[in-house]
Amino acid sequence: LSAAPAVRAGAPLEAERIEFWLWFDRLSDALTSRQREVLLLRYQSDLTDAEIGRILGLSEPGVRSLASRAISSLRQHPELLR
């Protein structure tokens, strides 16, 4: 019998997910708190624009606009321009 520890099939994927969110946390300093919140609700919590709108007190188009501005800001981040 092997003494090697069992590795969960999803472990590498989970490690990549954690690494991504740590990276996002560093980049998100360039965002306003509302921009950061809308991206976290959309991509980490996987909520719809309607659900995010209810949480943040915005219309669905307002959520999309805020998310678009946040993504645009991140695209201009110096770490991404290298």
**What's the CA gap between 9 and 12, in Å, rounded?**
8
pLDDT at 8: 58
| Gap between the Cα atoms of 28 and 72, Å rounded | 12
What pLDDT was estimated at residue 16? 82
* Measured distance CA(74)–CA(79) in Å, rounded: 9
User: One digit per residue, pLDDT tens: the chain, 82 residues?
Assistant: 445 455 455 677 888 878 877 777 887 888 999 999 999 999 889 999 999 999 999 999 999 999 999 999 888 877 766 6
